[in-house]
Amino acid sequence: MNEKQMNLAVATAALRLSVIQPAFNGTFPDRNKQDYYIRIAEKPLKLPDGREVRYAPSTFSCWESDYRRGGFDALMPKQRSDKGHSRKLDADVIAGIYSLREKFPKLTATGICRTSRYTLCLASPFRHFIPIPLDISGFYLHNKKAASD
């Protein structure tokens, strides 16, 4: 990490701390922390790099938890662990997912991940499952008929 990136990370951590500090100290004006986080999440935060970002209230809670566990350093943004590595599945991995799905149609995504010889995240098999066609034409007809009565 060069000096510019380090300064940006420290500024981001300082911003995060300034947001959670009232909740951490118990000095927030709202009824409880959750209400405080909801109110803060309504407006976007301006990051040190100039971007404006809206966060979910649960993100602030995670920041507070990180701060309790690891102090200021825990609030600094982290690099992705897979940065520089392709996350795209190779054709042979996709073929392996399909063949497992054909051999064992009731096998869950977790089961495919466990039985595959490749390291897969749980979402990978879901993206490559063959969708099961559902006959829902009667459902729509039924609803149209009920709406017209």
The residue out of 43, 75, 107 marking a domain boundary is: 75
How far apart CA 20 and CA 144 sit, in angstroms, is 51
Q: Is 63 found in the same domain as 88?
A: no
Neighbour tally for 105: CB within 10 Å: 9
Pick 77 or 110 by higher pLDDT.
77
Among residues 92, 125, 123, the alpha carbon closest in space to that of 107 is found at 125
| Integer angstrom CA distances of residue 126 from 25, 104, 136 | 43, 15, 22
Number of domains in the chain: 2
Q: Is 86 found in the same domain as 66?
A: no
Q: pLDDT digit string (tens) for 73-105?
A: 999 998 877 677 666 777 887 788 778 878 888
Q: Is 105 found in the same domain as 87?
A: yes
Q: Is 25 found in the same domain as 65?
A: yes
DSSP assignment letter at 104: -
- The residue type of 53 is V
pTM: 0.59
Q: Is 139 found in the same domain as 106?
A: yes
User: Domain limits at 34?
Assistant: 3-75
